[in-house]
């Protein structure tokens, strides 16, 4: 129970991270945070009982933590909004991959750059469904008459927190999830690595 997740808001009620009940209770006890949503259950010690928080707000922190968007396959998929950049359809995570626009076998001869120089980067990766990915193989899109809807780019901002819709509903977090949170509707039962 002490490891159950709690949504942490800044003082402007914008979600900034998740924490455990244990840490949330410490923040409440030391008056660094106030409870926003509480459960009907209690954490008890010999001397006191505290209602288990589900959402807390840090009282003296109003900004958002700055951080560069980490380069990862999952974040490439989120950058492209879970839409295959080749066929334009949206898929669930289970059916999505990332595709190297310039394939491995062509990179060095086409770009004159080593594999370590940009091959696996924001600019050479797009979200692609499994079918388009295997259709494309090691060809260039110009060779098969495909095109990209936009140039792939390094995103400047992405939501800090990725939460499944199911969890947000269950824990009473939904009213706070309009900004800085990406809600994922997990239609599939496969939870990809990296999703909280």
Residue 19's H or E segment, with its range, is strand 15-20
Give least dist CB 83 to Zn ion, A: 9
DSSP state at residue 90 = B
Determine the Cα–Cα distance for residues 127 and 96; give it in Å rounded to an integer. Answer: 7
State which residue, 114 or 134, has the beta carbon closest to Zn ion. Answer: 134
Q: Is the Cβ–Cβ distance between 47 and 62 less than 8 Å?
A: no
Nearest to 186 by CA among 162, 156, 166: 166
For position 87 contacting Zn ion by CB under 5 A, the verdict is yes
Give least dist CB 9 to Zn ion, A: 37
Listed ranges 103-111, 124-132, 147-155, 184-192: which one lies at the site for Zn ion (CB under 5 A): 124-132
For position 86 contacting Zn ion by CB under 5 A, the verdict is yes
Determine the Cα–Cα distance for residues 111 and 30; give it in Å rounded to an integer. Answer: 57
For position 2 contacting Zn ion by CB under 5 A, the verdict is no
Determine the Cα–Cα distance for residues 16 and 194; give it in Å rounded to an integer. Answer: 17
Reported in sequence order, the residue ranges of 85-140 that DSSP labels E, i.e. its strands, are 96-100, 125-129
Give least dist CB 57 to Zn ion, A: 42
State which residue, 112 or 145, has the beta carbon closest to Zn ion. Answer: 145
Residue of 9, 98, 101, 132 that binds Zn ion (CB under 5 A): 132
> Which positions ≥6 away from 145 have C-beta within 8 Å?
none
State which residue, 27 or 83, has the beta carbon closest to Zn ion. Answer: 83
| Joined tokens for residue 174 | 């939904």
Give least dist CB 5 to Zn ion, A: 34
Residue of 18, 27, 84, 163 that binds Zn ion (CB under 5 A): 84
Give least dist CB 145 to Zn ion, A: 14
State which residue, 86 or 107, has the beta carbon closest to Zn ion. Answer: 86
Residue 67's H or E segment, with its range, is none
For Zn ion, the binding residues (CB under 5 A) are: 84, 86-87, 129, 132
């Amino acid at each position: 129970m002490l490891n159950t997740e709690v949504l942490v808001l800044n003082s402007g009620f914008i979600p900034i991270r998740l924490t455990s009940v244990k840490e949330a209770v410490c923040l409440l006890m030391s008056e660094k945070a106030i409870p926003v949503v509480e459960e009907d259950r209690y954490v008890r010690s010999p001397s006191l009982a505290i209602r288990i928080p589900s959402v807390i707000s840090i009282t003296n922190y109003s900004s958002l933590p700055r951080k560069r968007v980490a380069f990862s396959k999952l974040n490439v998929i989120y950058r492209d909004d879970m839409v295959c950049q080749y066929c334009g359809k949206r898929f669930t995570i289970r059916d999505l991959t990332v595709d190297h626009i310039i394939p491995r076998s062509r990179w060095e001869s086409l770009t004159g750059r080593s594999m370590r120089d940009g091959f696996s980067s924001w600019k050479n990766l797009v979200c692609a469904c499994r079918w388009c990915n295997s259709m494309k193989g090691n060809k260039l899109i110009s060779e098969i008459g495909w095109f990209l809807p936009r140039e792939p780019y390094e995103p400047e901002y992405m939501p800090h927190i990725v939460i499944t819709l199911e969890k947000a509903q269950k824990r009473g977090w939904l009213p706070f999830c309009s900004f800085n949170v990406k809600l994922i509707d997990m239609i599939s039962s496969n939870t990809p690595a990296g999703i909280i």
